[in-house]
């Protein structure tokens, strides 16, 4: 079998497993010392030196007082500049508001824009906390299934059009790049979705947190940047946390396109939904201003790793379906043809000592699927794949 050529990447492939297991964050801490974790969407890599230096500087200066942000945090202009530089989207900085994470962003927008019983269309499979949010808030979830084709994962836009009309949807939650399939929608697909949104007067909540983890030749296109109409009906959710491995800083961005929704948000008591930590702002600014070189190296590692996962699955588990992800560091794996007598997450944990995610929390028809996080070193990934293939059938060579 031809294998991916591996050139060790300092800072990414020299991870110390004792260091990983000593971390208090959930990915490595919860499974215990025997299990290799590849479940929750955290990366194993140390954060960039730029972020570490910026946080250390703030602490060393004892600069932990109230921030002086009379017109909002500096994230607002930094976000607008990054969108313009990366994607050519002129996102007005004065329409940016800060929150602690994307789940809170989604919940706040749904709270302001919808009522219990309102129908919300969402791609399935999907990020479990988003689906759980809709259920907890009493919104009527309208699944828009992604379809597995020989060419990859496909979003049936004719079905989307018919579904939102039939179910009288008020909102479309659009995850692009898509978690968990790794699909990146093309400009043509996005323009068709924008036409559907216009035709049915949908609010589009666009989760774009994985945008900076897109692999060439695919290209992320911000939904709100498609046209003035798209901009006027889109709320964009994003954060530096996913592409720079900063989940614990609790810092995210909501960009409001609709005037009425922004006015509703700003009419709320200013601290009702919490305020972002100044250290989260420091880390985000350092990532966006000084972390691009680190991120380029990261993408080289992730590109290598996604290809290795695909290579092993194709060669060693031919009855398992998998498409090379176009973005993210997540592999979505269909084990249904194996006819397992237990959920695959449980099988891989029991027989392979590897903890993956997957199954029904990702939505209807997700039983039999696994989600594997490949954002780790070459050596750790090889052991994860050994455990996976041992549990599901064979051992990688």
Say how many Å lie between the first and final Cα of the chain, rounded.
7
pLDDT on residue 321: 97
2 band by pLDDT with thresholds 50, 70 and 90: very low
Per DSSP, the three-state class of 147 is strand
Q: In the predicted model, what is the mean pLDDT of residues 28-56?
A: 96
- Among 304, 324, 327, smallest CA distance to 314 is for 324
Q: What is the pLDDT of residues 177-205, one digit of tens each?
A: 999 999 999 999 999 999 999 999 999 99
Cis, bond preceding 79 (omega within 30 deg of 0)? no
Percentage of the chain beyond pLDDT 70 is 97
C-alpha distances out from residue 42 to 28, 85, 209, 328, 360, Å: 10, 26, 13, 11, 21
Residue 103 — pLDDT band, cuts 50, 70, 90? very high
The yes-or-no verdict on residue 61 having pLDDT over 70 is yes
Mean pLDDT, rounded, for 162-176: 98
Q: What pLDDT is recorded for position 249?
A: 94
What is the reported pLDDT for 336? 97
Average pLDDT for 220-246: 98
Report the Cα 314 to chain-centroid distance in Å. 25
pTM for this prediction: 0.96
Read off the pLDDT of each residue in 101-117 and give the average, rounded to a whole number: 97
Among 73, 76, 178, 64, CA closest to 127? 178
CB contact set of 378 (below 8 Å; sequence gap of 6+): 6, 8, 13, 304, 305, 308
- 341-357 pLDDT, tens per residue? 999 999 999 999 999 99
Which residues, in sequence order, are bridge partners of residue 143?
Answer: 122
Task: Write the pLDDT tens digit of every residue in 126-159.
Answer: 999 999 999 999 999 999 999 999 999 999 999 9
What is the predicted pLDDT for the residue at 134?
A: 98
- What distance in Å separates the CA atoms of residue 80 and residue 113, rounded to the nearest whole number? 24
The DSSP output letter for 115 is -
| Percentage with pLDDT > 90 across the chain | 94
Mean pLDDT value across residues 204-224: 98
Per-residue pLDDT at 8: 86
> How far, in Å, CA of 331 to CA of 324, rounded?
8
Residues 6+ apart with CB under 8 A from 334: 148, 320, 321, 322, 368, 369
177 and 213 in contact (C-beta within 8 Å)?
yes
pLDDT at 394 over 70: no
More confident residue, 253 or 275: 253
Q: How far apart are CA 167 and CA 170, in angstroms?
A: 9
pLDDT band at 176 (very low <50, low <70, confident <90, very high): very high
Residue 396, pLDDT score: 54
pLDDT at residue 28 is higher than 80: yes
pLDDT at position 1 over 60 = no
Beta bridge partners of 235: 205, 256
DSSP type of residue 83: H
Q: Which residue shows structure tokens 């759980």?
A: 132
Check residue 62 and give its pLDDT: 94
> Would you give the DSSP letter of residue 387?
H
pLDDT tens for residues 10-20? 899 999 999 99
Q: Which of 299, 112, 280 is nearest to 205 (CA)?
A: 112
Residue 294 pLDDT grade (very low, low, confident, very high; cuts 50, 70, 90): very high
């Amino acid at each position: 079998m031809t294998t991916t050529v591996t050139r060790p990447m300092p800072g990414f492939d020299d991870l110390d497993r004792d260091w990983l297991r000593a971390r208090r964050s959930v990915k490595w801490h919860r499974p215990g010392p025997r299990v290799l974790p590849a479940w929750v969407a955290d990366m194993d890599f140390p954060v960039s030196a730029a972020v570490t230096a910026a946080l250390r500087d703030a602490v060393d200066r004892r600069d932990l007082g109230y921030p002086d942000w009379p017109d909002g945090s500096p994230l607002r202009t930094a976000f607008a500049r990054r969108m313009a530089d990366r994607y050519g989207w002129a996102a007005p900085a004065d329409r940016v508001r800060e929150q602690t994470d994307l789940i809170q962003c989604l919940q706040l927008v749904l709270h302001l824009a919808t009522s219990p019983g309102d129908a919300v269309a969402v791609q399935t499979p999907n990020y479990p906390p988003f689906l759980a949010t809709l259920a907890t808030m009493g919104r009527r979830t309208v699944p828009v299934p992604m379809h597995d084709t020989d060419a990859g994962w496909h979003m049936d836009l004719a079905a989307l059009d018919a579904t939102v009309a039939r179910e009288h949807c008020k909102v479309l939650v659009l995850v692009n790049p898509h978690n968990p399939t790794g699909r990146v929608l093309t400009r043509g697909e996005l323009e068709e979705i924008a036409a559907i949104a216009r035709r049915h007067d949908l609010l589009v909540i666009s989760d774009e947190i994985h945008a900076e983890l897109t692999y060439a030749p695919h290209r992320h296109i911000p939904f709100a940047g498609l046209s003035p109409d798209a901009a006027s009906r889109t709320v964009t959710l994003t954060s530096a946390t996913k592409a720079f491995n900063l989940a614990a800083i609790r810092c995210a961005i909501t960009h409001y396109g609709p005037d009425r929704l922004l006015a509703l948000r700003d009419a709320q008591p200013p601290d009702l939904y919490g305020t972002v930590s100044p250290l989260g702002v420091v880390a985000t600014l350092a990532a966006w201003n000084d972390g691009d070189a680190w991120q380029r190296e990261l993408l080289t590692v992730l590109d290598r790793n996604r290809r290795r996962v695909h290579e092993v699955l194709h060669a060693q588990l031919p009855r398992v379906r998998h498409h090379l992800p176009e973005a993210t560091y997540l592999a979505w794996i269909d084990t249904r043809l194996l006819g397992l007598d237990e959920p695959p997450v449980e099988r891989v944990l029991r027989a392979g000592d590897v903890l993956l995610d997957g199954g029904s929390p990702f939505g209807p028809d997700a039983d039999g699927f696994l989600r594997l996080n490949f954002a780790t070193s070459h050596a750790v990934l090889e052991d994860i794949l050994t455990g996976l293939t041992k549990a599901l059938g064979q051992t990688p060579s």
